[in-house]
Chains A and B, each alone.
Chain A
Amino acid sequence: MKYVDTKVVFREVPDEVTLAINISNCPVKCPGCHSSYLAQDIGEVLDNESLAMLVKRNPGISCVSFMGGDAEPAKVRELALWLKKDYPGLKTCWYSGRDLENARPVLDALDFVKVGPYIDECGPLDSPTTNQRFYCVKQGEQGPRLEDWTARFKKNIF
Chain B
Amino acid sequence: MNVIKRNGEIQPFDFSKIEVAVESAFKACGYEKTPISFIEGLKHFIDMFDDDYTFKVEKLQDIVETQLMYEKYYTVAKAYILYREKHKDLRFIKERVDYMDTYAKSDANAATSSETDANANVAIKNVANLDGEVYKTLNRQIQRYRMKKKLKELSPEVADQYEKDLLSHIIYVHDEASSPAVKNYCEAVSLYPLVQEGTHGMDGLGATAPKNLSSFCGQFCNLAFLLSAQCKGAVAFGEFFNVFDYYCVKDFGEDYINKIDELASLYPKRTIGDTIHQSFQQIVYGINQPAGNRSYQSPFTNISYYDSNYWHALFDDFYFPDGSKPSWERVSYLQKDFMRWFNKERTKTLLTFPVETMALLSNGNDIIDKEYKDFTAQMYSEGHSFFTYISDNPNGLASCCRLRNEIQENVFTFTNGLTGVQTGSANVITLNLNRIIQNWAKDREMDREYVKEHFKDLSADFKQYLVDILERVYKYHIAYKTLLYDTEKAGMLNASKANYIKMNKLYSTIGENGINEAAEFIGLTCNYNKPYMEFCRLVTGTISEQNKAHSTKLFQFNQEFVPAEGLSSKNYNWDKEDGYWVPENRVLYNSYFYLADDPETSVLDKFRLHGREFTELLDGGVGLHCNLEEHLTKFQYLKLIDFAIAQGTSYFTFNIPNSECTDPNCHHIVKQPLDVCPKCGAPMRQWTRVIGFLRPIDDFDHYRHIEAKHRYYAKEVK
Contact = CB atoms under 8 A, between A and B. Distances in A.
Interface of A: 7-12, 14-17, 20, 22, 34-35, 58-62, 67, 124, 155-158
A61 to B, nearest CB: 7
Interface in B298-341: none
Given A16-B636, A157-B672, A8 B717 contact: no
27 contacts: A7-B602, A8-B603, A8-B605, A8-B714, A10-B603, A10-B628, A10-B714, A12-B716, A15-B633, A15-B635, A15-B636, A16-B636, A17-B603, A17-B604, A17-B640, A20-B717, A34-B717, A58-B604, A60-B607, A60-B640, A60-B643, A61-B604, A67-B717, A156-B631, A157-B672, A157-B678, A158-B347
Contact of A11 (B605, B671, B716): B716
A66 to B, nearest CB: 13
B294 interface: no
B383 A124 contact: no
A110 to B, nearest CB: 19
B636 A9 contact: no
Contacts of B636: 10, 15-17
Given A15-B633, A156-B631, A157-B678, A22 B717 contact: yes
B718 interface: yes
Given A35-B717, A157-B670, A158-B383, A11 B630 contact: yes
A7 B605 CA distance: 11
Instruction: Give the secondary structure class of A's interface.
Output: loop
**3 closest A-B pairs (Cβ-Cβ)?**
A11-B716, A34-B718, A15-B635
A124 B718 contact: yes
A20 B639 CA distance: 17
| Most B-side CB within 10 Å, residue of A11, A12, A17, A59 | A17
Contacts of B575: none
Nearest to B606: A8
A124 B717 CA distance: 11
B608 interface: yes
A8 B602 contact: yes
| Most A-side CB within 10 Å, residue of B382, B632, B643, B718 | B718
B715 interface: yes
Contact of B632 (A10, A12, A22, A155): A10
A122 to B, nearest CB: 14
A22 B717 CA distance: 10
Given A22-B717, A124-B718, 7 more contacts: A8-B605, A11-B716, A15-B636, A17-B603, A60-B639, A60-B643, A156-B631
| Most B-side CB within 10 Å, residue of A11, A35, A62 | A11
Contacts of B670: 157-158
Interface string B553-596: 00000000000000000000000000000000000000000000
